[in-house]
A = this chain, B = another copy of it.
Amino acid sequence: MNKVLRVGMVGYGFMGKMHGHAYRSLGFYYDPPPARIELRGIATQSEASWQRAGREDGYFFGTADYRELCARPDVDIIDCCAPNHLHKDVVLCALENEKHVYVDKPLARTLDEAREIAARAKEHPGLVTQVTFQYRFAPAILRAKELIDEGRLGDLYSVRACYLHAGYVDPKRPYSWRLDPEQSGRGGALFDLGSHVIDLTRFLAGEFAAVHHTAKTFITERPTKEDPGKTKPVNVDDISILTCRMANGAIGTVESSRLATGVQDELRFEAHGSQGAIRFNLMQPNYLEFYDNTAPGGSYGGERGFTAIESVHRYPAPAKWPGPKNTVGWERLHVHAIHNFVKCIVEGAPASPDAADGAKTQAVLEAAVQSQDKNAWVDVPSV
């Protein structure tokens, strides 16, 4: 852990702070950490914001211009937590300046943008790019991936994935960039939550072949932040339902909702195959439920049933946290995602999920948007 990696952060909202905390926590969770991290500089819109980032998180300097940050020789990593419409420019600028890139999801607003990012990333094989699909790093998901790769589910029949929360149930929640197609892309729940659950489905169940998309905006206007008496129309979906045909023959649904009243943060994944099944719910993150259809059955001696595999501690060494007794919190997933990113940099290895993964997920989003326009099944385009 002699290597030092210096981070330049773009954006200091919720996710920028989360990523900063994760970088600073690497040494607590990993022994040794793959590298020593310095939070070097930050690009935000206002000087007040970067002053605060320096004071609170220890960034050495700030700027209003991400290009300046990307050009700094004392920065090794650009972490892009800007709104979606800036992803392409920031990431390309970072790559041009030979920086490793950690970029929030979804990779871009459109498949064209995502393809361009992925193509450029491919031209820089020495640089690591990783997309913030942190749920891949949930210990129960890591265990699910192992089981699936070992063939324990057999032929996959069906997938049922959801990402639900209640964040937009209150009609007074004001308009933001996440509701503006220009800034966030043509999906609401689809792009925000669906990108996560599509990536997770790709990770566990392979590529999507075709999708059929149904979506609806229920709360069609929201007050502006500036003047709660005025409203702006909402043109992105509140609820998104994808029916999908997977490349391996399975069929299934991928639903996203920001109007799931009563739900805190439920990322659910359920898959049934000829030999077994798995279930996961982010609100009970300590366990992966696995059913082994090859276990002894029958009314005497049967042992079939879903096993709540203890997954709290399922990070490969040198992770020392969580131990078998330390239940999982959401921030921890970011720590482990960023650990993977930093480790790949140090080892000169490609990261996963990389820009190509981001673009493939974007291709599903794009197909969904087209399906909704055409009211028909759409094949997922290649990347």
Residue numbers of A with Cβ under 8 A of B are 17, 20-21, 24-25, 27-28, 56-57, 143, 146, 155, 157-158, 160, 162, 165, 167, 169, 212, 214-216, 218, 238-239, 241, 243, 245, 249, 251-253, 255, 257, 259-265, 272-277, 282-288, 290-291, 293, 299-310, 312-317, 321-322, 324-332, 375-377
Shortest CB–CB separation between residue A285 and chain B, in angstroms? 6
A308 partner residues in chain B, CB cutoff 8 A: 305-308
Contact B304 A317 (CB under 8 A): no
- The 9 sampled A-B contact pairs (Cβ below 8 Å) are A21-B28, A158-B257, A215-B251, A243-B243, A261-B293, A265-B326, A302-B309, A325-B330, A329-B329
| A262-B277, A376-B376 given; 18 more Cβ-contact pairs under 8 Å | A146-B301, A160-B255, A167-B325, A241-B252, A243-B243, A262-B304, A264-B324, A265-B324, A265-B325, A282-B327, A290-B305, A299-B314, A299-B316, A300-B314, A325-B330, A328-B329, A329-B329, A375-B376
Asked if B251 and A261 sit within 8 Å, CB to CB, the answer is no
Rounded to whole angstroms, the CA-CA distance of A307 and B309 in the bound complex is 8
Q: Please, which residues of chain B bring their CB within 8 A of the CB of A286?
A: 264, 283
Question: Is B262 within 8 A of A272, CB to CB?
Answer: yes
- Which chain B residue shows the least CB distance to A293? B261
User: Nearest 4 A-B pairs (CB), nearest first?
Assistant: A329-B329, A262-B291, A265-B325, A305-B309
Task: Flag if A293 contacts B253 (CB, 8 Å).
Answer: no
Q: Given A264-B325, A265-B327, A283-B286 in contact, is the A259-B272 Cβ separation under 8 Å? A: yes
Copies of this polypeptide in the complex: 4
Inter-chain contact A261/B276, CB cutoff 8 Å = yes
Please measure, in the bound complex, the distance between the C-alpha atom of A330 and the C-alpha atom of B324, giving whole angstroms. 11
Question: Complex Cα distance A14/B329, Å?
Answer: 19
Residue of B nearest to A332 (CB): B329
Q: Are A299 and B313 in contact (CB under 8 A)?
A: yes
The CA of A282 and the CA of B327, in the complex, are separated in Å by 8
CB contact between A316 and one of B218, B284, B300 (< 8 Å): that residue:
B300
Among B21, B162, B306, point to the contact of A307 (Cβ < 8 A): B306
Query: Given the complex of chains A and B, what is the CA–CA distance between A376 and B378 in angstroms?
Result: 12
- From residue A11, how far is it (CB to closest CB) to chain B in Å? 16
Q: Write out the residue numbers on chain B whose beta carbons fall within 8 Å of the beta carbon of A330.
A: 322, 325-327, 329
**Complex: how many Å from CA A215 to CA B7?**
49
What are the residues of chain B within 8 A of A316 when measuring CB–CB? 299-300
Residues in B whose Cβ lies below 8 Å from that of A241: 243, 251-253
A304 touches B300 (CB 8 A): no
Q: How far is the CA of A261 from the CA of B304 in the complex (A)?
A: 11
Chain B min CB distance to A172 (Å): 12
